[in-house]
Chains A and B, each alone.
Chain A
């Protein structure tokens, strides 16, 4: 069971970035998925969740209207489209499985500066 995030990097305020999370070793299409972020030296912050069939999608107030979560079950992949990025979005972004956040990826760093 593995999750591998990618797509992080340095972006200017107001810019966009698309994160990906590649899943392997489990039945990806059967589980809801989540994005969690951690600003440098800070705690964990839930960002967004998507149900197994994409029927239900939720966002934290801090990213609502700017971020879009999506998934492609055929490709075993989860995505986070981040628009109108702000300095306060600077963080390591993790994907995690299911309601219990059982499995976490290694994270990908997003720097908005």
Chain B
């Protein structure tokens, strides 16, 4: 089974400052079709998760451009260029190359 490890598990960010979350997989997420199946979700307090980024770096419809994803192979990163109050919640990465596995989650709070 593929294990997804996120760091940090929590972070506190001043509004307007950047934030970065790392996600490492125990196996390469690069498929033979050339695509890497790594996704990022945000679960805001009291809400269902919502898709932010698909296939490493593509923003889902309606997601602000302050969110960006990067990485390859086993190392991936979600970056928020300027954190806003509405970005609070728990961020999860997920691999989709061999069934599905979520990371433990990273809780983002505002200072």
Q: A residues touching B (Cβ–Cβ < 8 Å)?
A: 34, 36, 43-46, 49, 58, 60-61, 94, 96, 99-107
Contact = CB atoms under 8 A, between A and B. Distances in A.
B100 A46 contact: yes
A104 B55 CA distance: 18
Given A43-B90, A49-B99, 17 more contacts: A36-B49, A43-B103, A43-B104, A44-B43, A44-B102, A46-B99, A58-B99, A61-B1, A100-B55, A100-B96, A101-B39, A101-B51, A102-B51, A102-B54, A104-B48, A104-B50, A106-B48
A49 to B, nearest CB: 7
Interface of B: 1, 37, 39, 41, 43, 48-51, 54-55, 60, 90, 92, 94, 96, 99-105
Nearest to A96: B49
B105 to A, nearest CB: 5
Given A43-B102, A46-B100, A102 B49 contact: no
Interface centre among B39, B49, B50, B100 (most CB of A within 10 A): B100
A46 B92 CA distance: 12
A31 to B, nearest CB: 14
Contacts of B100: 34, 46, 49, 101
A61 B98 CA distance: 13
B101 A104 contact: no
A107 B50 CA distance: 13
A101 B94 contact: yes
A101 B14 CA distance: 30
A94 B50 CA distance: 12
Contact of B39 (A36, A58, A100, A103): A100
B92 A43 contact: yes
Given A100-B54, A101-B39, A46 B102 contact: yes
A89 to B, nearest CB: 17
